[in-house]
Structure 1
């Protein structure tokens, strides 16, 4: 953008000395980089700000979680791999890093166990860490201590037994660990966007293929994406390329059902999910630049839309709850000079 310049009128200047100096200062500020009228302030003046604009270049975060105890957001990085924190005043700090973190996607804060769980993949966005062996093959779960950032465990999901023996496995040799949900017992569930798999990692760090189904096949697009754990003992899982929602019981995953979209609403591009209460689900559609508020009154057999939030010219990714509010992540592109975390309003 072009900077704004002061316009000077012809004729003698008769302003007092102090006013002349003030005008000069304003003019000089208009010439400084990053001070154009289109830049957003990085330090909000209120708590729970409407938006936090983070001046960090090329981070491209995909996952976001609110950490109430420490009053900060936790974000991933598709291009750098490390895990970082963001305060309301835009302060950005690295929390954790590890050589296994090629691209970090979904993030889950298991606050009761003081753990940060991170889905790890490799689609080539992090050129510093991507290799021929990991490109489009990496699916991992990294678990860190939320206080110290120390690595607790790393589980290579893509090489688990069962990842090559399910029906149609030969058609989906690639892997992409996408999003994470944690149940009441501390078991983590991870979706694979490139293969029709939901993984499970128990509290001791033992991984397994939790469930796979031909209905989860990604086809030529991007398959399983966001998921959440419902306190009644099941997962709600989104499939991005079709916008389908599945209800998958923890105890009997083979009895999963497709949630009927009563309104016939298109949910293609479904990404992050957030359960704000047992009957209300927020769904982020990146391709539609929209956050949908969905409601069910029959234990998620059917769903209807009760509101939308348009994000504008961006592709929102994931969403997190902060008190009574929800905040959605705008990652922008891999080369963007900043990213934003924005309060959702219906």
Structure 2
């Protein structure tokens, strides 16, 4: 009951911060901007709009329900932007950034090495702080991929290219929360490890590993512990995660990695995420969905056409499509 009350409260706060016309979102938002290729998205209740990142340009843009797109955040230090989170209470935007080698400003020195979180003003987009996570995580390849926000403002960040999960407190001080060899396969070094992450109000994290499809439950506190969730099937090339108000977990998968397919699945657990089963699997009509975000109108799934970008070309178009599950799920 406590969990449901906490989620209900967060949902109520989201609605209170949202203009009354928030439910008027279309089923599909078709966005367009020159070679934007967004990988991450977050709903911004102060604007009743989406924020999206950019693998190609390292920016964060505002996307209105009618698809109009404008730049909110741009900084030359960010080569590619990935996960995005809106912190309304503290009026800030947190952005995971790195270099996948396909950004317009990518260099051999920064590719697979630059990794951090940018913290910006929600209203103006002005820089507040950069947090260098590569220096904290230590030697090797690094890529800040996604992040989750706890109610106290603590951010938890996945590094897709290392065995570290990182923590940033509300003052911007970073540390390794936990290391685990299961988080990343060293062969090849560029294999994708931890990706999507959510914070659970009961005090733990749920994190998916892309290559391998494992789901981990990470307890928080003085001595964090890692436990693999026993799932009925692997979440191959799992990407973004969304914790829904009813306690279920939405997971986005794509064919950008081994055995991945374009799909959105719903997982449920009856034992506090010691185990979980897939209760619904939606084949997705877009080619390479990466993540999703919760809005007052439902969950919207992003496809930034990364398949095109990684294939050596470019596209000006991206899609945010509503995910609708049947009552049987």
TM norm structure 2? 0.85
Pairwise CA distance, 1:305: 1.2
How many aligned positions are there?
A: 289
Residues 25 and 297 in structure 2, CA contact (< 8 A), matched pair in contact too: no
CA distance in 2, matches of 1:312, 1:252: 44
Does 1:186 pair with 2:176? no
Pairwise CA distance, 1:110: 1.4
User: What does 1:31-180 align with in structure 2 at a 5 Å threshold?
Assistant: 47-127=24-104, 129-160=105-136, 163-164=138-139, 173-180=140-147
In structure 2, the residue matched to 1:216 is: 183
Residues 182 and 188 in structure 1, CA contact (< 8 A), matched pair in contact too: yes
CA distance in 2, matches of 1:285, 1:113: 31
Pairwise CA distance, 1:136: 1.0
CA distance in 2, matches of 1:312, 1:57: 23
In structure 2, the residue matched to 1:304 is: 277
Residues 230 and 278 in structure 1, CA contact (< 8 A), matched pair in contact too: no
Pairwise CA distance, 1:255: 2.2
Residues 59 and 74 in structure 2, CA contact (< 8 A), matched pair in contact too: yes
In structure 2, the residue matched to 1:341 is: 320
With a CA cutoff of 8 Å and minimum separation of 6, indicate the structure with the bigger relative contact order.
2
CA distance in 2, matches of 1:257, 1:311: 30
In structure 2, the residue matched to 1:236 is: 206
Residues 193 and 218 in structure 1, CA contact (< 8 A), matched pair in contact too: no
Cα-to-partner distance string for 1:265-322 (whole Å, 9 max, x where unaligned): 2311100000012620000011210000111121111101121222125110010001
In structure 2, stretches of 5+ residues that fail to align are: 1-22, 256-260
**TM-aligned CA distance change 1:147 to 1:313, over 3 Å:** closer
**TM-aligned CA distance change 1:252 to 1:302, over 3 Å:** farther
CA distance in 1, matches of 2:246, 2:92: 24
CA distance in 2, matches of 1:249, 1:108: 21
Deviates further, 80-89 or 308-317: 308-317
Query: Max radius of gyration: which structure?
Result: 1
Pairwise CA distance, 1:229: 0.2
CA distance in 1, matches of 2:241, 2:32: 26
Cα-to-partner distance string for 1:124-151 (whole Å, 9 max, x where unaligned): 1113x22232111011100111101011
- The secondary structure found in structure 1 opposite 2:100 is coil
**TM-aligned CA distance change 1:218 to 1:207, over 3 Å:** same
**TM-aligned CA distance change 1:98 to 1:107, over 3 Å:** same
**TM-aligned CA distance change 1:278 to 1:344, over 3 Å:** closer
- The secondary structure found in structure 1 opposite 2:89 is helix
Structure 1 ranges of 4+ moved more than 3 A: none
In structure 2, the residue matched to 1:26 is: none
**TM-aligned CA distance change 1:313 to 1:344, over 3 Å:** closer
Residues 103 and 120 in structure 1, CA contact (< 8 A), matched pair in contact too: yes
Does 1:314 pair with 2:287? yes
Cα-to-partner distance string for 1:59-113 (whole Å, 9 max, x where unaligned): 1000001112211000000000111000011111110111111000111111221
TM norm structure 1? 0.81
Does 1:291 pair with 2:264? yes
**TM-aligned CA distance change 1:253 to 1:95, over 3 Å:** farther
